[in-house]
Structure 1
Amino acid sequence: MALHPVVEQVTNRIIKRSRPSRAAYLAHLEAARIQGVQRGALSCTNLAHGFAAFPENDKLKLKEYKKPSVAIVSSYNDMLSAHQPFEYFPKVIKEAVREVDAVAQFAGGVPAMCDGVTQGQPGMELSLFSRDTIAMATAVAMSHNMFDAALYLGICDKIVPGLLIGALHFGHIPGIFVPGGPMTTGISNKEKAAIRQRYAKGEATREELLAGESASYHGAGTCTFYGTANSNQMLMEMMGLHMPGSAFITPGTPLRDALTKAASQQAVKISQQGGDYMPIGRIVDEKSIVNAIVALHATGGSTNHTLHLVAIARAAGIVIDWNDFDELSKVVPSLTRIYPNGEADVNHFQAAGGPGFIIRELLDAGLAHEDVNTILGHGLRAHCKEPFLGEDGKVVFRDVAEKSGDEAVLRPAGKPFANNGGMVLVQGNLGRAVMKISAVKSEYHVIEAPAITFDSQEDFMGRYKAGELNRDFVAVIRFQGPRANGMPELHALTPALSNLQDAGFKVAMVTDGRMSGASGKVPAAIHVSPEILAGGPLGLVRDGDLIRVNATTGELDALVPDEVWASRRMASADLSKSHIGMGRELFAMFRTHSSPAEEGAATFPLPSPIETTVPLHEGEHVEEGQPGSDEDFLFRTQK
């Protein structure tokens, strides 16, 4: 089917907007590429240090300058359920790589923090900036220049974006993302949410709450709701950075191990020595970024990706903004109902058809680009697959089923749950913000109510528990942007706001902070940009101002006379408590240098041009495109 005109229009606009920075990025990529093994640039002393502790057989391969070396960059730690399975992955990877006459080395670890642990705690104020820390840690791991391909082991909220940002700064190196899979299904998400709301009302004890939470988060693997972690996995599938269908296979199973082995051997295959060279910087391009946004909308994914995808794109020299998200959301249908947009979890989604079904439906509907590079070569159609365990213990990929296994969870594009992606841009005299409305009932899409301002989550909860918020109001949570306090998620407020909504009050939230990828039924205009510390007008709001949040028309306004609005001074707050303790003082440079939310809340610049020209390698010539361009790369690799 022909590409949808809006998808084509948005893509072309992104290509045009990104042309200078993308060209600079590709020039950097070509300049970094070495014909032959990467470690060929190292001196003998460098190389000796690089394999001193390695087994003799592997050391011999590294000395030969012929066999590829695969880096393992992992977010393993055994406190966090999603990352605990990665403990034994390096052993599986090394054995799989040896089978195809190559070598794998554990290049380095990256930090992995869990928003589920830090939610509502001081540590949450490090969370967003941990993404850029992970990107830098990835760069440190890859900086030894020993590696011809890389396997990136990560799964959760900031970890996958951070790994991908780091990987893209080594865009000449092929890379594959290796997930760990979700934990098995525990108690229902509906039951878990009910216990949380009862606890917020004081109707459940802490012991009852902990028992409910423990029955939900009960074993190794990712949390099973469709928050940022599982949105990450869907996007890696859609961008062709996973082995097909590997996102939601549970850990500790033979199929999980078989997929890890397959990814390891594919990394060797797409190295320069493997013969099917496919660097990660050529996979992540303007079309694959658009595909990722489309998949995010089609599955009701996390609002955090209105930050993370922007930052990922910038790392590859691609410039996207919230207008792009908004326009695509209007034409991409909602194909899933996964909690918080429904009652099913990701295991149900996988059983109903999983990522391969989504990819096929979007391609067949003309809503995604098929002509993209992936870790399997050229063309996204190869990822419309589901993995199975073959008789020899190796993974076998089969076409996904024609029909959904459960249309209460997953539907074809011709029979969607909704005709839009459920994510909207709202803007007005309060700035620009995003809203996720896929789980918000239509009667709450428009809220007009007086503002009540809060300068912290603690302030809100204190007044809620005191019974001061039993009325219609818009909670304006201020000083929560990246420059103020690291832009923490405010998901801890969801149960209280949900209770107020259930009690019949019209409530909404407006904030320059973030809301979790699990944000649900209460309307929330989040990531308000610019934030107050960057001069954002949210700091002009006063208690009692009538606030309009209209997800239907895209309005975000304080209904205050212009002359009154112009006469006001910006609100101020003592933020010193958010800058000291729990390591927050170490992140001062991130707060100081963070870009606005709509630019990804990132601390690194767009790629800039380099003065040197990049020569073609011996035996290469160009008939179409300029050296370093995408057209030139495709011509040379296909020849």
Structure 2
Amino acid sequence: MNSQLDDVTQRIIERSKKTRQEYLDKINKARREGPHRGVLSCGNLAHGFAACGSAEKSDLRSMTKANVAIVSSYNDMLSAHQPYHNYPEIIKDAVKQVGSVAQFAGGVPAMCDGVTQGQTGMDLSLMSRDTIALASAVALSHNMFDSALMMGICDKIVPGLLMGSLSFGHLPTIFVPAGPMPSGLPNKEKARVRQAYAEGKVGRKELLDAESESYHSPGTCTFYGTANSNQLVVEMMGLHLPGASFVNPDTPLREALTRAAAVQATRLTDLGTEYTPIGEVIDAKALVNGLVGLLATGGSTNHTMHLIAVARSAGYIINWDDFSEISNAVPLLTRIYPNGSADINHFTAAGGMALLIKQLLDAGLLHNDVKTIVGDGLDKYTKEPMLDDGELVWRDGATESLDKEVLAPVSTPFKPDGGLSVLNGNLGRSVIKTSALRTPHIHIKAPAVVFEDQFELDDAFKAGKLDRDCVVVVRFQGPSAIGMPELHRLTPPLGVLQDRGYNVALVTDGRMSGASGKVPAAIHVTPEAYNGGLLAKVQEGDMIELNTETNSLTLCVDEQELEARVPREADIEHHHQGMGREMFAGMRAILTGAEEGACSLFYTQEQAYD
């Protein structure tokens, strides 16, 4: 095992001794007290199976047959989640065939960042993760279930389902993906049209045509954003069946994998001999494996918050320094848009998950001694699923890449590191994704152009006020201020300025999900401006220096002057009303900072780390 990764793992274990033991005590107590329907009164139990058929009622009365909970984020507005519409029936049938029962336990909300980008609904996006965690906990709270199947794909949904599942860590739990849509308009062409629209060179019709050709059918969007990062990370942590992440929807193989996941959920319960609760699968080594997979592929920066919150849900404390050290130890092995022109289907065709995991294991960059839903050892995930005369089998995956422009060998990676750095300075701490930048290192020192709403930037761009070297500051976008929306609409105009030859960078306490692409972006600045961060004192024209060689982010203003400055007051009330946002005031008020997971379930930073 790589010594640097082993050191990070041991540090996480040591740091988390108290909180992990408390978590294990909690789930062991839950195991003793449930899940078993025997503790329910006759009235409780009768309510629990009232709608079942006579055979299912008999099975559930016997207390010897497994009852599998189905928790789904299905809705038919999200292309990624539309394929889930018939999964409950497929799962119930598969479970019935092996003599057990499956019940639909509950649904969780699922919003689409693609629909809400640049819209008021985006202010609810990050907070939807904790809402999903709460909803999944409600679904599992009836003490009727012996294991669970979680169905979710996109940005906040999988982290929320993970957090809710881990609160029921005594239950064996399998995550069931639906797969990416087939490839459409190449991502590079989509990005070109977006920039052309930002410059006024094409109209809305051309833009909508390009977007529709890119996002064109049921299935996950094919670029490597948070949705596909979720799938990769969950498989790396051993919660998917091997090779299940990126099989296209509505195919025989996809249905076979769904049926197999359902059957596997019956094998892992406490009723048999293979009891494998999710709280034991997700340990420090599994978390490090997920981080390695994320960073070796240039995955979404949203996970610098999500995985911190997920880890805390399992009793572990991780921070951005852990991300940075793992990034330094792990080479960048994939080029998937926005880090390249390929999409997730091209990655699968080049060798996909089986080859990625094999290469990382062979190089000592993953822990193999872990529990998974298919048994001990991550090496089981070097096999890939296929149909042999209609039967699902797993065979050895590729031993070398079929397209080294998409999936590189460890010996000749695209970059020697994972492309994620932590910046420190008087402006606070921040993360920057460097894997998609044009050069390995960025050093920019330029005057600040300050905005307090992402929508203000459009007018300045169109008026030509940004046609110069500058550091664009967009503040009051953090968790406590307005719920930390994605700022994707900033990418096209900033990309245009870069193409015009200007040195530009972005500094914000908001999120970019890694969609900053070629534009240097110091994101998730913490402490955020709304909570006393120095970002609130930045003035137009102040020099800001961003340097990825020294990992520094500095406001170049005399300390005495900064001390005398009065912080800018946030004008954000318009972000707190309408589109349901007023109902989330209580959640916003208790969100932790970005490096503590931007989470409302731990209440304060002190409680999160106590």
Fold agreement, TM-score > 0.5: yes
- CA-CA distance at 1:593 after TM superposition: 0.2
| Matching of residue 407 in structure 1 with residue 404 in structure 2 | yes
Contact 2:69 2:140 in 1 (8 A): yes
Partner residue, 1:78? 76
Question: Equivalent residues in 2 for 1:86-485 (5 A)?
Answer: 86-391=84-389, 393-442=390-439, 445-485=442-482
Q: In the TM superposition, what whole-angstrom CA distance separates every residue of 1:131-186 from its partner, at most 9, and x where no partner exists?
A: 00000000010001100000000000000000000000000000000000000000
One-letter amino acid matched to 2:306: H
Contact 2:332 2:414 in 1 (8 A): yes
Q: Partners in 1 of 2:300 and 2:513 — Cα distance?
A: 7
Contact 1:67 1:103 in 2 (8 A): yes
Greater alpha carbon shift after TM alignment, 476-485 vs 569-578: 569-578
Q: TM-score, normalised by structure 1?
A: 0.93
Contact 1:225 1:518 in 2 (8 A): no
Mark the CA change 1:406 to 1:534 in structure 2 (over 3 Å): closer, same or farther. same
Contact 1:37 1:68 in 2 (8 A): no
Q: Partners in 1 of 2:391 and 2:596 — Cα distance?
A: 42
Question: Equivalent residues in 2 for 1:508-527 (5 A)?
Answer: 508-527=505-524
- CA-CA distance at 1:514 after TM superposition: 0.3
Mark the CA change 1:450 to 1:36 in structure 2 (over 3 Å): closer, same or farther. closer
Contact 1:439 1:520 in 2 (8 A): yes
Partner residue, 1:630? none
One-letter amino acid matched to 1:376: V
One-letter amino acid matched to 1:549: L
Contact 2:335 2:406 in 1 (8 A): yes
Q: Secondary structure at the match of 1:151?
A: strand
One-letter amino acid matched to 1:440: L
Identity of aligned residues (%): 58
Partner residue, 1:575? 572
- CA-CA distance at 1:109 after TM superposition: 0.3
Q: TM-score, normalised by structure 2?
A: 0.98
- CA-CA distance at 1:467 after TM superposition: 1.7
One-letter amino acid matched to 1:434: V
Q: In the TM superposition, what whole-angstrom CA distance separates every residue of 1:225-262 from its partner, at most 9, and x where no partner exists?
A: 00000000000110000000010000000000000011
One-letter amino acid matched to 2:190: K
Q: Partners in 1 of 2:94 and 2:561 — Cα distance?
A: 68
Q: Partners in 2 of 1:483 and 1:218 — Cα distance?
A: 35
Partner residue, 2:51? 53
Contact 1:179 1:246 in 2 (8 A): yes
- CA-CA distance at 1:36 after TM superposition: 7.5
- CA-CA distance at 1:540 after TM superposition: 1.5
Q: In the TM superposition, what whole-angstrom CA distance separates every residue of 1:467-500 from its partner, at most 9, and x where no partner exists?
A: 2111111011010000000000101110000000
**What is the total number of aligned residue pairs between the two structures?**
605
Partner residue, 1:536? 533
Q: In the TM superposition, what whole-angstrom CA distance separates every residue of 1:248-300 from its partner, at most 9, and x where no partner exists?
A: 00000000000001101111011112320000000111111111111111000
Partner residue, 2:608? none
Mark the CA change 1:39 to 1:239 in structure 2 (over 3 Å): closer, same or farther. same
Contact 1:314 1:606 in 2 (8 A): no
One-letter amino acid matched to 2:16: S
Q: Secondary structure at the match of 2:32?
A: coil
- CA-CA distance at 1:552 after TM superposition: 1.8
Q: Secondary structure at the match of 2:56?
A: helix
One-letter amino acid matched to 2:160: G
Unpaired runs of 5+ residues, structure 1, are 608-639
Q: Secondary structure at the match of 1:32?
A: helix
Q: Partners in 2 of 1:144 and 1:36 — Cα distance?
A: 10
Q: In the TM superposition, what whole-angstrom CA distance separates every residue of 1:67-116 from its partner, at most 9, and x where no partner exists?
A: 01000000000011000000000111011111111100000000000000
One-letter amino acid matched to 2:498: Q
Q: Partners in 2 of 1:412 and 1:386 — Cα distance?
A: 18
Greater than 4 Å deviation, 4+ residue runs:
none
One-letter amino acid matched to 1:364: D
Q: Secondary structure at the match of 1:93?
A: helix
Q: Partners in 2 of 1:469 and 1:438 — Cα distance?
A: 25
| Matching of residue 63 in structure 1 with residue 50 in structure 2 | no
Contact 1:37 1:65 in 2 (8 A): no
- CA-CA distance at 1:605 after TM superposition: 2.2
Contact 2:441 2:549 in 1 (8 A): no
Q: Secondary structure at the match of 2:250?
A: coil
One-letter amino acid matched to 1:593: I
| Matching of residue 24 in structure 1 with residue 22 in structure 2 | yes
Q: In the TM superposition, what whole-angstrom CA distance separates every residue of 1:174-231 from its partner, at most 9, and x where no partner exists?
A: 0000000000000100000000000000111101100000000000000000000000
| Matching of residue 501 in structure 1 with residue 533 in structure 2 | no
Unpaired runs of 5+ residues, structure 2, are 605-610
Q: Partners in 2 of 1:120 and 1:422 — Cα distance?
A: 27
Q: Secondary structure at the match of 2:142?
A: coil
Q: Partners in 1 of 2:386 and 2:123 — Cα distance?
A: 41
Q: In the TM superposition, what whole-angstrom CA distance separates every residue of 1:497-546 from its partner, at most 9, and x where no partner exists?
A: 00000001110000000002433010000000111122111111111111
Contact 2:386 2:395 in 1 (8 A): yes
- CA-CA distance at 1:390 after TM superposition: 2.0
